[in-house]
Structure 1
Amino acid sequence: MSKKSSDVVANKKNSNKNLKIKTLKQRFLSFLWSLLWKGSVAFCAFLFIAGIYFDQKIERKLDGPTWALPAQVYGRPLLLQRGELSQAQLVGELKLLNYRPVESVQSSGQFSVNQQQVIIYRRAFDFPDRPESALKIRVDFSQGKIASITDERRQNRDSIRLDPLLLARLDSDKIEDRVFVPFEKIPNLFVNTLLVMEDKNYYHHQGISPLAILRAFIVNFQVGRRVQGGSTLTQQLAKNLFLTPDRSLWRKFQEAYIAVLMDYKYSKDVLLEAYLNEVYLAQNGDSAIYGIGLASDYYFARPINELRIEQIALLVAIIKGPSYYNPRRNPERALSRRDLVLRKMVENNLISTADYKYAVADSLNLSKKRALNERANPAFMSLLYRELAAQVPRSVRNSNGLHIFTSIAPLAQKHAEFAVQKGVAQVSKDKQDDLQAAMVISDRQYAEVRAVVSGREVKFSGFNRALDANRPIGSLVKPAVYLTALDAGYGLDYHLNDKAIILKNGTGQRWQPKNYDRKFRGQVTLEEALIHSLNVPTVNLGMQVGLNNVISSLHKMGIQEKIKAYPSLVLGSISLSPLQVAQMYQPITMNGGYQPLTLIRSIMSNEGELLYQRGDRSEQVFSPQAVKELTNTLHKVTSEGTARSLRWRNPGQSFAGKTGTTNNLNDSWFVGFDRDEVVTTWVGKDNNTSAALTGSSGALVLFSYYMKQKIGK
């Protein structure tokens, strides 16, 4: 073959080879293109489907109730009015409400005291009847009572309410706990400080920040470990609301995608509000603290809008790592981080240099660790749960974020707890460590429970003696006997025999009642018999008016249990709890009107709708004249009768009341009342053995301590 022919063949082979290569390349490129566009279509379809799925999740979460908010339980708001309250009582209430004492009152939650004057900047609050704004007022005192109330416009006010104390949050699962704060009530300084520290470009990016992610990657790569994150606040919100805390690429993709969708659908303010109410900030026992509203209360015992500069800085610092910067466990670490936040605040012109120097010199100033848990007393919380179940419809109880307004008076509760602890320690004999007590404070005018204590360990949530300890009431029943007589037309000067008598009890056995001092006086007036709590004349009176009529009176006074008509009834053989006794005495203190004792005043929805309102109607069950005569006699009981030790125990104070003592001195009772409160007190032992105390040597002492606390002594 010639060289020319050979070259032709070779060229042909090369051409065929090149053609094959070209064909293979074309096929490969075609395959890649097919794979690319099909993959792109599939990916777009995936993004579309995932977008629909995530969008529905986002809408369900952010358009509906974002959180299952616990019900908030409030005490009664203190009503300031002329002629009421001492300066000491007002200051005591302000301290319980965590108002801050200052020299010059400038903002809500502050007060100052100057001789016979208290200046208060009342907090804004949405009361059940209407919302009221923050207001600066001046309260002047004269002769130990409020003389005038003047607001910031120099207008005289007859009365004004303070915001009520938040006592507890009812969270059924004990997992999450939060107080929702709307965006408009979050201080601008807090928002701006948070953005400086966590997401400077928050209002400029679209949910994710590629530059922040790249910067974090470079920094982490340089140091060989994760020291910086690139997530925006929107991404953090997406993770907190919808995702698990694992660090997989799939989770990061979901986080970014959800963040972009949320940023597209909702305003920056709405998302920031959600973030600040969702962020985890502490662990309080079994409950987690979520959101800056509850965290502000947990760390500083005050609402978020009252935080000082250094407190705002600390709360922002904690957001970075609630466990790592826990100020109670790691105070030095938290302080260092707080000071860094303060430096950033002054560098970004959020605060002045003078404010910075003042703030950085301050300590952490945390509230007591258990302050958040100590406002609620298990005794009145138990009564609250029972009343909710008995009086409030299930549909209301199951609503989200209820605001429950109660009649609990925080200062009265504090004084009652002190009186029980101090009083039991005082009356215990021979180291009676098993001596117990209970106390119920009720309001004379409105038939409301103001305070409940169920034992000497006032925060113990076990057996509730105030509600469940049914014990013989002894001579506490006698006013019911005498009221029956007075209501039937008997006079206080009516004479009763005080001579030995023998009766038969329910089993046919002979019963011979005796007076406590084992003496007989021949004849005594009805008034004398009650003042000195004489047994025999009381039995004679009970038999004359009729035991069934006495039982009828007890039912009118609110005792619902079936009572047998035994003669021993009139000496207190029936058993009642302290709360039932308080109910029994309520008509005596309400001019003969009956109204059930209650704790719940009203319930509002999270949106401000009134869902439940306590009824205020009372029923006249006894003659006002008969009740007046009885009350005057009970006043003499405390001045010259069985409770006369109150004259030297509480000089200058005026009371009416009745002692009660049961067989073998097992139970010591006293019910006393001044012009606005009824105090029911029991002292005894859970095993029903002798407490070795009469009504005057036991329960009356606790009553005395309470009344001393009430007037600030």
Structure 2
Amino acid sequence: MAKTPKNESAKSKPKETTKGKLKQGAKKESGEKSTAKNPKTTRKPTARKNTKKSTSKSQTPSFKQRFFRGLWSITWKASLAFIAFIIICGIYFDKKIERRLDGSTWTLPAALYARPLTLQVASPLTQHALVSELKLLNYRAVKSVQSPGQFSTAGKRVIIYRRAFDFPDKSEPAQLAEVSFNWQGVSSLKTRQQSHLQQFRLDPLLLDRLNSKQIQDRVFVPFEKIPDLFINTLLLMEDRNFYHHQGVSPFAILRAFIVNFKAGRTVQGGSTLTQQLAKNLFLSQERSLWRKFQEAYMAVLIDHKYSKDKILEAYLNEVYLAQNGATGIYGIELASDFYFARPVDELRVEQIALLVAIIKGPSYYNPRRNPERALARRDLVLRLMLEHNYINTAQYRIAAKGNLNLSNAKALNNRANPAFVSLLNRELQSDVPASVRKKSGLSIFTSISPLAQKNAEIAIQNGVPKVQKEGQHDLQGAMVITDREYAEVRAIVSGKNVKFSGFNRALDASRPIGSLVKPAVYLTALDQGYALTDTLNDKAIILKNSTGQRWRPKNYDRKFRGEVTVEYALVHSLNVPTVNLGMQVGLGNVIDSLHKMGVNEKIPAYPSLVLGSVSLSPFQVAQMYQPISMKGVYKPLTMIRSIVSSQGEVVYQRSQHAQQIFSSQSVSQLSNALHKVTTEGTARSLRWRNPRQDFAGKTGTTNNLNDSWFVGFDKDEVVTTWVGKDNNKSAELTGSSGALVLFSDYMKAKVGN
């Protein structure tokens, strides 16, 4: 095979076009220019080629670079989003906390208080009555009085250490006083320093709390009233680092994690008291990371915004401690009352230990259902209190020996009487502005006397079975007790079952009043100029009504006496002379008198009116007799004295209207006659039933002996009593054989017999 010559090979290459030559020339010129500008640079084609490749690689990032750049971008964006989320949550949580803790933290029930007992020199109060009232107030009888809530007796002296209390007019501190008695009543009042007092006021009894259908019940107690021993013991058991952490304790969380990990189950919590407060106030019981995050974040914010004392105050008023039926018992003040029937600042060492023990688990350590567990936990708390020198050895031994000493489980439920709560609600609706009623945490001060209420309840409960005839089991009774001078309701009972919240006989049982109407007839006559010595006919008469029907009134004994004096007719409750008198003074005038006395019912002008055909409730009868007992001055019966807001401001004060509706001379004559009713008339059995007591009063009996009535009054009270049946059948009792007996029993209890 012939070899190809080199020159032929060269010839075989394609020829360069003019355009190609121009490009090469241009490139050459360009290279020359570049060389001219950078004389030090030596152009090498191969080196130039390699440089182009290196530039291409640097302009395209590797996968690793792209990954980390993307990761960084996501990280800082996520961080910004997280920071924004934290800030937004912080603002939201902060506002939520502020609204709750700076405003009304709780919707508190209204507290219903009895009247405070005011002791005055020369007041007719007996020593027995004072001691009975102190016991109702849960004052403790001791040999030597040392602290508030205690009293002692020695001969005719009673030494009292009164609790501090915020009265509507002023706050009064705890104070010790010595009360001396003689046969007339209070003879002297002295302080610890033996200086004389003109009066001494006891703290009032808490009658009830009006919950407004809330399922939580609590009584707020300010931090300064919580004993230091309670605070120290609580922190010892629940959060020892409370005053040093910032709302969350990482060490406590770590410790709890280790303990729970070793145990294989949750045996210890790492939450601080601040976290528990945040959970109780704002969160549910759901177990989730989101809930724990909110709890911790809120705890930090709460700790930053509020003092430690404020946080403790909120926690101790919020913590759940017991269940009373459908209502939860929250806060240590109400729990102290629920378990021990005393305020938290009067708890003994062992009671403080038990209450702190219960906080750990109110159901698990329920002292009524699980007394052994509760006792063991209490003793543990006592040992730790001793180890940390919160109590000494002597205190520990006394406390550890004691049993649980719980109060009656039904004490809170038994406190309220539906009869006076019903009356209170009616008065609230009719007299108190809605803007006041809607406020939270009101203190309502009433005229209810705890001792009068207790004695009235006993009189009805024991008296009704005593007077009912053999074979009867459906007899009922009601009683209303009012203050003569101030027309205030002191007590009200609506039936044998004093806790029954149904039909209120005292307010709503409208029954014929019989001879109770007669004083209104005689008072009308006396006000027209009649005298007690004037005479009336006691002879058979026949009257016709508007339809022509004839009516022949008769006396109870079916006898006629010819002529009798006005006084005799009233004292012996004679029907025929009363009808004659009523016709003489005018039925319209009698009706006017009844209306002036507070009877708001429409009363037909029938002759039978003057014998008591008008139907009224016991409360209405009490109103009718109020001006008779108060020299002819009419005042509407009332129960509410004043209402104080949770801030201590008086938001309602009763203003009582008084009007002279009968002359005092006429009422004085009537009162003298009513006094004779109890000594020689239809109520004369009171002479031997209550031999050392002085009364005025009037019996009432209706047709077929269906209703038994008695209204009696002494120096300071008017007592209205009714006995009968709800089905309106015969009670087989007169006024003197039924209602008067219950009145007598009440008055005996009043003086301590």
- Smaller-chain TM-score bracket: over 0.9
In the alignment, the residues of structure 2 paired with residue 358 and residue 49 of structure 1 have an alpha-carbon distance, to the nearest angstrom, of: 55
1:69 equivalenced with 2:74 (yes/no): no
Structure 1 contact 87–144 (Cα < 8 Å) conserved: no
Give the 5 Å matches for 1:467-482.
467-482=507-522
Q: CA deviation at 1:504?
A: 1.3
In the alignment, the residues of structure 2 paired with residue 626 and residue 77 of structure 1 have an alpha-carbon distance, to the nearest angstrom, of: 35
Could you tell me which residue of structure 1 aligns to residue 75 of structure 2? 36
Corresponding letter in the other structure for 1:59? E
In the alignment, the residues of structure 2 paired with residue 370 and residue 144 of structure 1 have an alpha-carbon distance, to the nearest angstrom, of: 38
Could you tell me which residue of structure 2 aligns to residue 11 of structure 1? none
Secondary structure of residue in 1 paired with 2:104: coil
In the alignment, the residues of structure 2 paired with residue 406 and residue 507 of structure 1 have an alpha-carbon distance, to the nearest angstrom, of: 49
**1:524-548 Cα shifts (integer Å, max 9, x gaps):** 1111111100001111111111111
Q: CA deviation at 1:45?
A: 1.0
Give the 5 Å matches for 1:500-519.
500-519=540-559
Corresponding letter in the other structure for 2:296? A
1:46 equivalenced with 2:92 (yes/no): no
1:174 equivalenced with 2:214 (yes/no): yes
Structure 2 contact 636–657 (Cα < 8 Å) conserved: no
Could you tell me which residue of structure 1 aligns to residue 201 of structure 2? 161
Q: Calculate percent identity across the aligned residue pairs.
A: 72
Give the 5 Å matches for 1:277-676.
277-676=317-716
In structure 1, stretches of 5+ residues that fail to align are: 1-14
Could you tell me which residue of structure 1 aligns to residue 23 of structure 2? none
Q: CA deviation at 1:155?
A: 1.5
In the alignment, the residues of structure 2 paired with residue 520 and residue 174 of structure 1 have an alpha-carbon distance, to the nearest angstrom, of: 64
Secondary structure of residue in 2 paired with 1:173: coil
- CA separation of 1:19/1:144 partners in 2, compared to 1, >3 Å: closer, same or farther? farther
In the alignment, the residues of structure 2 paired with residue 342 and residue 507 of structure 1 have an alpha-carbon distance, to the nearest angstrom, of: 86
Q: CA deviation at 1:352?
A: 1.2
Secondary structure of residue in 1 paired with 2:478: strand
Out of 94, 99, 108, the position equivalent to 1:55 is 94
Structure 2 contact 484–626 (Cα < 8 Å) conserved: yes
Out of 682, 707, 712, the position equivalent to 2:722 is 682
Q: CA deviation at 1:650?
A: 1.2
In the alignment, the residues of structure 2 paired with residue 642 and residue 619 of structure 1 have an alpha-carbon distance, to the nearest angstrom, of: 31
Structure 2 contact 636–656 (Cα < 8 Å) conserved: no
In the alignment, the residues of structure 2 paired with residue 689 and residue 287 of structure 1 have an alpha-carbon distance, to the nearest angstrom, of: 40
1:188 equivalenced with 2:228 (yes/no): yes
Q: CA deviation at 1:191?
A: 0.7
In the alignment, the residues of structure 1 paired with residue 213 and residue 676 of structure 2 have an alpha-carbon distance, to the nearest angstrom, of: 52
Secondary structure of residue in 1 paired with 2:415: coil
Out of 693, 701, 713, the position equivalent to 2:741 is 701
Corresponding letter in the other structure for 1:446? Y
Q: CA deviation at 1:304?
A: 1.1
Secondary structure of residue in 2 paired with 1:80: strand
Structure 1 contact 443–449 (Cα < 8 Å) conserved: yes
Secondary structure of residue in 2 paired with 1:177: strand
Structure 1 contact 442–448 (Cα < 8 Å) conserved: yes
Secondary structure of residue in 2 paired with 1:660: strand
Secondary structure of residue in 1 paired with 2:362: coil
In structure 2, stretches of 5+ residues that fail to align are: 1-53
- CA separation of 1:506/1:679 partners in 2, compared to 1, >3 Å: closer, same or farther? farther
In the alignment, the residues of structure 2 paired with residue 634 and residue 360 of structure 1 have an alpha-carbon distance, to the nearest angstrom, of: 62
Q: CA deviation at 1:630?
A: 0.7
In the alignment, the residues of structure 2 paired with residue 540 and residue 353 of structure 1 have an alpha-carbon distance, to the nearest angstrom, of: 85
Q: CA deviation at 1:32?
A: 3.1
Out of 107, 118, 123, the position equivalent to 2:163 is 123
- CA separation of 1:144/1:334 partners in 2, compared to 1, >3 Å: closer, same or farther? farther
Runs of 4+ in 1 over 6 A off after TM superposition: 18-22
In the alignment, the residues of structure 2 paired with residue 82 and residue 640 of structure 1 have an alpha-carbon distance, to the nearest angstrom, of: 35
Corresponding letter in the other structure for 1:469? A
Corresponding letter in the other structure for 1:148? S
Q: CA deviation at 1:302?
A: 1.2
1:78 equivalenced with 2:122 (yes/no): no
Could you tell me which residue of structure 2 aligns to residue 4 of structure 1? none
In the alignment, the residues of structure 2 paired with residue 118 and residue 344 of structure 1 have an alpha-carbon distance, to the nearest angstrom, of: 39
Could you tell me which residue of structure 2 aligns to residue 92 of structure 1? 132
In the alignment, the residues of structure 2 paired with residue 302 and residue 121 of structure 1 have an alpha-carbon distance, to the nearest angstrom, of: 14
**1:41-67 Cα shifts (integer Å, max 9, x gaps):** 121111011111111101111111111
Larger radius of gyration: 2
Instruction: Identify which range, 503-512 or 192-201, moves more after superposition.
Output: 503-512
Secondary structure of residue in 2 paired with 1:160: strand
Corresponding letter in the other structure for 2:444? I
Q: CA deviation at 1:144?
A: 5.8
Could you tell me which residue of structure 2 aligns to residue 12 of structure 1? none
Structure 1 contact 422–705 (Cα < 8 Å) conserved: no
Q: CA deviation at 1:487?
A: 1.3
- CA separation of 1:371/1:517 partners in 2, compared to 1, >3 Å: closer, same or farther? same
In the alignment, the residues of structure 2 paired with residue 415 and residue 72 of structure 1 have an alpha-carbon distance, to the nearest angstrom, of: 23
Structure 1 contact 300–365 (Cα < 8 Å) conserved: yes
Q: CA deviation at 1:39?
A: 2.1
Could you tell me which residue of structure 2 aligns to residue 217 of structure 1? 257
Structure 1 contact 174–286 (Cα < 8 Å) conserved: no
Could you tell me which residue of structure 1 aligns to residue 282 of structure 2? 242
Instruction: Identify which range, 33-42 or 206-215, moves more after superposition.
Output: 33-42
Corresponding letter in the other structure for 1:56? K
Secondary structure of residue in 2 paired with 1:72: strand
Corresponding letter in the other structure for 1:468? D
Could you tell me which residue of structure 1 aligns to residue 13 of structure 2? none
In the alignment, the residues of structure 2 paired with residue 507 and residue 242 of structure 1 have an alpha-carbon distance, to the nearest angstrom, of: 74
**1:2-25 Cα shifts (integer Å, max 9, x gaps):** xxxxxxxxxxxxx9xx99999444
In the alignment, the residues of structure 1 paired with residue 258 and residue 471 of structure 2 have an alpha-carbon distance, to the nearest angstrom, of: 71
Structure 1 contact 109–122 (Cα < 8 Å) conserved: yes
Structure 1 contact 505–568 (Cα < 8 Å) conserved: no
In the alignment, the residues of structure 2 paired with residue 141 and residue 28 of structure 1 have an alpha-carbon distance, to the nearest angstrom, of: 97
Corresponding letter in the other structure for 1:358? I
In the alignment, the residues of structure 2 paired with residue 283 and residue 494 of structure 1 have an alpha-carbon distance, to the nearest angstrom, of: 68
In the alignment, the residues of structure 2 paired with residue 151 and residue 684 of structure 1 have an alpha-carbon distance, to the nearest angstrom, of: 50
Corresponding letter in the other structure for 1:712? G
Q: CA deviation at 1:26?
A: 3.5
**1:333-367 Cα shifts (integer Å, max 9, x gaps):** 11111111111111111111111111111111111
Secondary structure of residue in 1 paired with 2:212: coil
**1:235-263 Cα shifts (integer Å, max 9, x gaps):** 00000001010111111111001100111
Q: CA deviation at 1:419?
A: 0.1
Secondary structure of residue in 2 paired with 1:259: helix
Structure 2 contact 419–494 (Cα < 8 Å) conserved: yes
Output the TM-score relative to the length of structure 2.
0.91
Corresponding letter in the other structure for 2:305? K
**1:507-526 Cα shifts (integer Å, max 9, x gaps):** 32100100000001111111
In the alignment, the residues of structure 2 paired with residue 133 and residue 591 of structure 1 have an alpha-carbon distance, to the nearest angstrom, of: 39
Corresponding letter in the other structure for 2:483? D
Q: CA deviation at 1:27?
A: 3.4
Count of matched residue pairs: 698
Structure 2 contact 485–630 (Cα < 8 Å) conserved: yes
In the alignment, the residues of structure 1 paired with residue 664 and residue 193 of structure 2 have an alpha-carbon distance, to the nearest angstrom, of: 44
